[in-house]
Amino acid sequence: MIFLIRLPDFVAQKDFEWAVPQVWEKKKLDCSKAEYLFIDEGLLKLR
């Protein structure tokens, strides 16, 4: 099962890598399987 969370453009992979251990320290939530994935959705075409 895959869950996706859309992040704002200003969140970089280094921010994600910093946040994963922070979540464990503060919330004891295991995010070790979480991945930062960039998906290019292409150009938006408006009619």
Q: What is the pLDDT of residues 1-47, one digit of tens each?
A: 888 999 998 999 999 999 999 999 999 999 999 999 988 877 777 77
Residue 38: per-residue pLDDT:
87
Using alpha carbons, select from 38, 42, 44, 43 the residue that is nearest to residue 4: 38
pTM: 0.72
Helices then strands, each counted (H, E), the chain? 1, 0
* Token couple for 26: 């503060």
Residue 12: per-residue pLDDT:
95
* Token couple for 34: 């979480």
Running DSSP on this structure, what letter comes out for residue 45? -
Residue 29: per-residue pLDDT:
96
